[in-house]
Amino acid sequence: MKITYADKRNAVPVVNEQKQVTAENLNMIKNVVNKWIDDVTEIKRMIGAGEISVEELKEVVDYIRTNRSDLANLSVDNIAGLQDILDELIDKSKGITANGVTFLTPLDGMKYFSSGTGAIKITLPNSWTTTMMMLHIDVFNYLDNSSFSLIISGCPHINKYWIRTSVKIIGDNNYNVRFGFDGTKACIYIAELNTQWSYMSCCIHSCNFHYTKYSKRQWLTGWDISLENNQFENVNKTHTNNLPVSR
């Protein structure tokens, strides 16, 4: 029998949630119990309708008990074909994967700073994936002739260093660009620790990924853009003289 009372509200202010039973506690208990009753009712219906037998249900329960540790360790990456299905479910307007390449615009690859000092630090969603990538980045700065765009490419190799990096800056400022690792994820630094910015915004407007671990799920979100004015961490590639050269 289900619990049928209406959701409760706290009659008096909650002073100590550790010692007081709150209305939220009771409502949560009611929802859990009623969900359990619904599940049991559905199982009874399935058995009565012949959709599943008691023996089959027992087999499922026995399997879960026997393989509890394996089931606990399941992930998207070790279930064959699941990654492909998830990729298909992601709206193609958020990125396209075709012919071994993923092209997308990161959903959180942009940041506005009213002002500040430091190198622009772009932290990738992942660390050493050996994914080959190219990033197109726009930086607006509220000074004449100080906004610019960058085309950055590279591969954060599984051996824990960046390889095959390149940088081109379209603008008037020849900023240095460094490729590093902050102890958790791969990152890219633009400019210097003492660079000053005014009403600055940074936007990663398009990227392409290929070779390995290039699914939309792995690169669509999880980006971070910040200002680093303390130190460059674990830099193994530094690019200078990044303005285009006339030929």
Question: Domain ranges in the chain?
Answer: 23-72, 97-239
Q: What is the pTM of this model?
A: 0.66
pLDDT digits (tens, 9 = 90+) for 182-201: 999 999 999 999 999 999 99
Residue 28, pLDDT score: 77
pLDDT at residue 64 in the model: 73
| Residue 231 CA: distances (Å) to CA of 23, 35, 49 | 49, 52, 67
The CATH superfamily of 97-239 is 4-oxalocrotonate tautomerase-like (2.60.40.1680)
Helix (H) or strand (E) run with residue 149 in it: strand 148-157
Give residue 123's Cα distance to chain centre: 11
Angle, nearest 10°, between helix axes 23-48 and 54-66? 130
Segments of the chain with pLDDT less than 50: 14-15, 247
- Where does residue 159 fall: left (phi above 0), alpha (psi -120 to 50 degrees), or beta otherwise? alpha
Distance CA 213, CA 215 (A): 6
Amino acid at 198: S
Q: What's the rounded Cα separation, in Å, for the pair 162 and 218?
A: 18
Residue 247: predicted pLDDT: 44
54, containing H or E segment: helix 54-66
The span from the CA of 187 to the CA of 119, in Å, is: 12
